[in-house]
Amino acid sequence: MTAGTQSTRDRILRAALEIAQEAGPGSVSLEAVAAKAGVSKGGLLYHFPSKAALLRGLVEEQLARFEAALGIEAAASRHDGVIAAYIATFVAERLCATPPSAGMLTALVEDPAILEPVRQRERGFLDAIRANTADPDDATIAYLALQGLALMRLLGIDVVDEDERAAVLARMSRGRDA
């Protein structure tokens, strides 16, 4: 893939994500994405031959960015390193990002099957977390708490304030150096 082709592809994905964040998942259409990305609909279809392909691309891009930031191989070399890295990366990528990423919610609204790679990768993360700690159940609880915090934020039903969130994150991170 040439740099220009990659740049156009990235611009299309960024436009789709921005539309989902600004106007909601139901507003992501090929026409709207093409217009926001500054490409023709044919140009969009060259990179993503269907809306489902666009949404798969959006989900894959978000997963790849998270996985790269996580650096799981390096984290696995330290006891409790994977959960510590997961907490730090999750907070930076999914809890502190403003606005929260709506790409996965958009895919869920359109076609829940698009999220199968997410299930598989998240299961892989959880397996790595559990294998790298003396207390797999404690690490699983931390993982699930992070997922809950992010989901409440994404859905706009966040019931914890910033101090409560910080206290929970500090408790999860206690004794774990990211």
Closest CA to 47 of 89, 14, 71: 14
Note every long-range contact of 142-146, with CB atoms under 8 Å and residues 24 or more positions apart, other chains counting: 142/83, 142/87, 142/172, 143/83, 143/86, 145/172, 146/86, 146/87, 146/90, 146/91, 146/94, 146/95, 146/172
Q: What is the pTM for the complete model shown?
A: 0.75
The radius of gyration of the chain's CA atoms, rounded to the nearest angstrom, is 18
What average pLDDT does range 67-79 have in this prediction? 84
* Average predicted confidence (pLDDT) for the chain: 85
Residue 134, pLDDT score:
92
Q: State the fold for domain 3-173.
A: Tetracycline Repressor; domain 2 (1.10.357)
Q: Domain map of the chain by residue range?
A: 3-173
Any idea which of 5-19, 53-67, 86-100 has the lowest mean pLDDT? 86-100
Of all residues in the chain, the percent with pLDDT exceeding 90 is 37
Beta-carbon contacts of residue 140 (< 8 Å; ≥ 6 apart): 126, 129, 130
* Residue range 136-164: mean pLDDT, rounded: 89
**For residue 163, pLDDT beyond 60:** yes
pLDDT over threshold 90, residue 123? yes
CA distance 36 to 2: 22
Instruction: Label residue 156 left, alpha or beta by phi (over 0 means left) and psi (-120 to 50 means alpha).
Output: left
pLDDT of residue 100: 53
Q: Any idea what the Cα angle at residue 83 is, between residues 79 and 89, rounded to 5°?
A: 130
